[in-house]
Amino acid sequence: MTQLFPNDFGEDLFVLLQDITLSTEATVESFKTTLSYEREIWILEVALTDESRHPYVNYSSFVRLSSPTNLIDVQLMTNASADAETTSRGFKLNYLTSRDRQLKTLALKAEINRLRNELTLEVSVRQCFQV
């Protein structure tokens, strides 16, 4: 007879597995997964959106990892678009600092204008509010 878990750690591992809850909600464009164990909760959210209208391209994405019990919250948002005149990309990162509980934002936007042969870069760093 084959045992699923050896006797030396099997019972402890089985008890641990009983205390873990994993739930997922999904749509065509996004999903959200929540992992709970003991007093910990971790949430992962991912979304991809296609807002393109032919012949123009416009994609957005969103990724978030958070833990309300640990006060962790990191979000990454991106955007990519193109039309006959310009191509642009944008990245935005929001995160909550653990030491002083400040929400900070880092953002970068780049745009290429093919008609004017121009490259535009925007960079911003922002500290929002105390949580």
9-32 core/surface letters (b: 16 or more CB in 10 A; e: else): eeeeeeeeeeeeeeeeeeeeeeee
Alpha-carbon gap, residue 95 to 45, rounded angstroms: 15
Is the full-model pTM beyond 0.85? no
Tell me the pLDDT tens digit for each residue of 69-106.
Answer: 888 899 999 999 999 899 999 999 999 877 777 888 99
Tell me the pLDDT tens digit for each residue of 53-72.
Answer: 888 999 999 999 999 888 88
Token digits of residue 125: 């760093």
